[in-house]
Structure 1
Amino acid sequence: MSEEKGVEMSEIRSTGDLAFQGFLEYPEMRFPSGKFSFLAGPSGSGKSTYLRLLNRTAQPSSGEIFLGEEPISSFEVLDYRRRVLLVPQEVYLKEGTIAENFRLFYRSRREACPDADAMRAALDLCQADFSPEDETATLSGGESQRVFLAFFLSTGPEVLLLDELTAALDESTSKTLLENLKTHAATNGTTVICISHSEALVSEFSDYTARLTGR
């Protein structure tokens, strides 16, 4: 199952009896801290649900998940979700400017919004070549996804969960984006877990890969 051994203090891991609603069962998995990891497997094997379990937007019917040495059930939910961020496939942008959407995102977190320079830095990291004052209505699907990702990255999460991040992107943009994210993760000690159906991307960018085979 694992392609890398050893326990790190800030890794995120789950026990071998982890299950969701009795129809999805997972083997023991460990994702080392500060690494760019992938979760691979066929459709229906429970990859997206596993990320939701890691983020506590879904609750297991059995088993346990740990962040470092602590079970994630011991953390206050909102504080935990600030540390372990799930970027969903669905993009949520309101009409208005990118900066206004940044402010809405941070208001939902009850945190101070970064300034325009920090917004631009996050957008650049996500291959989103836009000004914070640009309107979201002009963005394509792939552009909206990268702008949405910039909101999450700007918070500096400890763990970043990415559900099919490159599904709407061409090959060149996908590779550049993943190169940026991998460098950023290594520099900042961010643990990244990414779902992808592209074996080529997994092979090129993964530090560690866990694979699901089905139920």
Structure 2
Amino acid sequence: MIIITDNKKLTKYIYDNKIDEIFGKDIIPFAKLLFFNKNEHICRADEKLDYLYFLVEGRAKVYTLLRNGKILSYRFYDSLEVIGDIEFIHQDRANSNIEVIENTYCIGIPIEIIKMNYLNDSSFLKYMCESLANKLKSFSKASSINLLYPLENRVANYLLTNNNETGTYYNFTEMSELLGTSYRHLLRILDKLSKNNTIQKDGNIIQIIDLELLKEMSEDLF
């Protein structure tokens, strides 16, 4: 992690993402612009968090390591996403690993500053409640889908969610982790969809051919 001492860039990120509106009192004097290189961790499980992070540019993966050595990915974070809200509310250490998968910028607010100045800030607390509610909703839906639906339907839903008309690049390792399956099983499903002309697969680039069939396969998942 690198602390970027560029106040102009810091304030631009804050205003562009309306982070100033989250707090009832001015937050800029306490905010820091933090840069994470690709594959660097924002936090690891059981570590103490020094900041409440607002991811403003880049992408990160939230995951846990299972006892068998496998990785279980919960979700991916894009901007604007809060990191550390659950730990802040519970006064606890990080409960998962968060690794950036591309160069990423975060606005960091020291936890101690928030404790001293914003615990009675209704605007901030309202935002935290909304953030936690959205994460609970997202996690509950993802867990239900992984438990109740075959992989083929989940893959169809994933492809539709990330669809680009000209073709989309996919990291199949990340995709398999998020869908809770093995890399090989995922490739078998993708090859099957390719052979029946539902998708066109060229290496890691996938283009949807039969949009209606994919929608039919993932109808109950939306």
Q: Per chain length, whose mean CA-contact separation is higher, i.e. which structure has more relative contact order (CA < 8 Å, sep 6+)?
A: 1
- Note whether the superposition's TM-score is higher than 0.5: no
Provide the TM-score with structure 2 as the length reference.
Answer: 0.27
Higher normalized helix content (fraction of residues) = 2
Higher normalized strand content (fraction of residues) = 2
Provide the TM-score with structure 1 as the length reference.
Answer: 0.28
